[in-house]
Structure 1
Amino acid sequence: MSANVKVTLVKSVIGTQQAHRDTVKGLGLRKLNSSRVLVDTPEVRGMINKVSYLLKVEAA
């Protein structure tokens, strides 16, 4: 079984770099307080680390 991670967008992407907005979109997050449960892979972890200041991360 693969581990999952739940990410929630808790800070607005307004005023952030375009690359960071694209990363949030790539994680599947759209509006403030939207959440997604994602498979915990190195690629997803890298995306989370890049925009960690915008997210809340929990084990799912």
Structure 2
Amino acid sequence: MASVEITQIKSIIDRPERQKQTMKALGLGKINRTVTKELTPQIAGMVNRVQHLVSIKEV
């Protein structure tokens, strides 16, 4: 599987609770925090839900 770097670029303040929980599940929560994850269907689905809050870069 391919690895991706997911970086939070926007705040989760005033976002729906579901989006906040998704960001927490990805290991994010503060702006400019970056995590590296394997691109599984589950991770791709979570990223798709919060794509307006993060940037994705393939490693």
The number of equivalent residue pairs is 59
1:45 corresponds to 2:35? no
Shift >3 Å, 4+ stretches: none
* SS in structure 1 at match of 2:44: helix
Shift, 1:45, TM fit: 0.1
Take 1:28 and 1:58, find their aligned partners in 2: how far apart are those partners?
16
TM-score (norm: length of structure 2) = 0.96
Whichever residue aligns with residue 56 of structure 2, its letter is: V
Unaligned runs of 5+ in 2: none
1:3-52: CA deviation from partner (whole Å, max 9, x where unpaired): 10100000000010000000000000121100000000000000000000
Unaligned runs of 5+ in 1: none
Aligned sequence identity (%) = 34
Task: Please provide the CA RMSD for this pair.
Answer: 0.6
Paired position in structure 2 for 1:34: 33
TM-score (norm: length of structure 1) = 0.95
Take 1:24 and 1:30, find their aligned partners in 2: how far apart are those partners?
6
